[in-house]
Structure 1
Amino acid sequence: MRTSNKTKILDAAVRVINRDGVRAVTFESVSSESGLTRGGLLYHFPSREALLRGIDEHLVQAWEASMQQLLDVPAGQASAVERHAAYMRVSAHSATRAELIFMLESVQPDSDVAPWSEAMARWAPPPPRSGEADPAVWDNFIARLAADGLWVYEGMYNGRIDEDVRAGIAQRLMAMLRAQAE
């Protein structure tokens, strides 16, 4: 199936962000990266704000699709451990700088949309409640923090970690989740 121009625009904008940051997203930079005209971009995104909102939604959808692809069942039918495991694997292997930037931006108190917050509520374990005694709840959250930390490390510092080290981290996080499933 042929990729739509809207998807080409969004994918190109994400490449610009991953390479040069959000400030570099202009109609000119995205037009150049996508090979489409400025008019073609304006047809789909009449303003830079509309383009940024589109990027945000595009990233959330792609992020959730990556996790859904790891499950054998729809997310709503998967157990909490299965959803958390998918979250850990995606965060430890393929989370991007653009996703991190947009996630941080969308949780601002004055934000009128919170696509990342909604996605996180579906996929990632919440913090334990005060007085929580179940070690599994603690392990879920600690594994999430570790996966998030890896993502932040790479996103903020362009600190690519060797693939074998990354795989080792993912295995350790998965072991935390597996121990509770047994």
Structure 2
Amino acid sequence: MRPSARAWILEAAVRVTERDGITALTLQSAAEEAGVTKPGLMYHFRTRQAQLVAIQRHLTLRWESLLAEQLGRPPETAGDREKVTAGPRDIDLLPARMAVDGLWMLHATSNARLTPAVRAALVARITALAEPRAVAGCPERTELPARAEPPAPPRNAE
């Protein structure tokens, strides 16, 4: 099944963010990465803010889909404990990813800025959460499945 133009553009925007950082994500950079024109992208996302909100929803849906796949049923039918054990194998990685998402969303959508010292401490803590564990008795971290290379863009991407 071919991805929709919207999903294709969102994946391209995620790649730009992962590669170059949130400040590099513009409507133009996402359009170039997706191989569509800026007006073609703007058909789906009129503003950068709309694109950022859509990326967050897209990533949340991706995570929920992985969770449903691991559970073997819809996540809303499972209890919290079951969701945690069926989710990412390294539970510390999930809060680290959520913290990073929150940090870039704060930076991208707000005038509020963290002081350099607070930002450095937060980045250090997030990095520590994402590191393999050295604590005795903790199972070794297992990686989440890597995303496959993106398929060719849909023909009617605009």
TM interval, shorter chain, is 0.5 to 0.7
Query: Which structure carries more relative contact order (alpha carbon 8 Å, separation 6+)?
Result: 2
* Whole-Å separation in 2 of the counterparts to 1:107 and 1:25: 14
1:80 aligned partner: 80
1:55 aligned partner: 55
Q: 1:31 to 1:106 in 2, by over 3 A?
A: closer
- How many residue pairs match? The answer is 121
Identity rate, percent: 33
Q: What secondary structure, in the 3-state scheme, does the structure 1 residue paired with 2:2 have?
A: coil
**Unmatched 5+ residue regions in structure 1?**
112-150, 162-166, 171-182
**Unmatched 5+ residue regions in structure 2?**
111-124, 133-138, 143-158
User: CA offset at residue 92 of structure 1?
Assistant: 6.6
Q: What secondary structure, in the 3-state scheme, does the structure 2 residue paired with 1:61 have?
A: helix
* Whole-Å separation in 1 of the counterparts to 2:5 and 2:99: 24
**Aligned-residue CA RMSD (Å):** 3.6
* Whole-Å separation in 2 of the counterparts to 1:19 and 1:154: 21
* Whole-Å separation in 1 of the counterparts to 2:7 and 2:129: 23
Provide, for residues 23-57 of structure 1, a one-character-per-residue CA deviation record: whole Å limited to 9, x for no partner. Answer: 01012211111011111111000111111111111
Provide, for residues 58-81 of structure 1, a one-character-per-residue CA deviation record: whole Å limited to 9, x for no partner. Answer: 111111111111002221222333
Provide, for residues 94-129 of structure 1, a one-character-per-residue CA deviation record: whole Å limited to 9, x for no partner. Answer: x6x986533345689x99xxxxxxxxxxxxxxxxxx
Structure holding more helix per residue: 1
Q: Aligned AA for 2:101?
A: F
Select which of 99, 103, 127 maps to 1:153: 127
User: CA offset at residue 17 of structure 1?
Assistant: 0.6
- Normalising by the residue count of structure 2, what TM-score does the alignment of the two structures yield? 0.61
1:168 aligned partner: 140
Task: Please say if residues 90 and 141 of structure 2, whose CA atoms lie closer than 8 Å, have aligned partners that are also in contact.
Answer: no
1:16 aligned partner: 16
Q: What secondary structure, in the 3-state scheme, does the structure 1 residue paired with 2:87 have?
A: helix
* Whole-Å separation in 2 of the counterparts to 1:90 and 1:66: 14
Q: 1:28 to 1:98 in 2, by over 3 A?
A: farther
Q: After superposition, where does 1:1-182 map in structure 2 within 5 Å? A: 1-89=1-89, 100-104=99-103, 152-153=126-127, 168-170=140-142
Q: 1:66 to 1:36 in 2, by over 3 A?
A: same
Task: Please say if residues 13 and 33 of structure 1, whose CA atoms lie closer than 8 Å, have aligned partners that are also in contact.
Answer: yes
- Normalising by the residue count of structure 1, what TM-score does the alignment of the two structures yield? 0.54
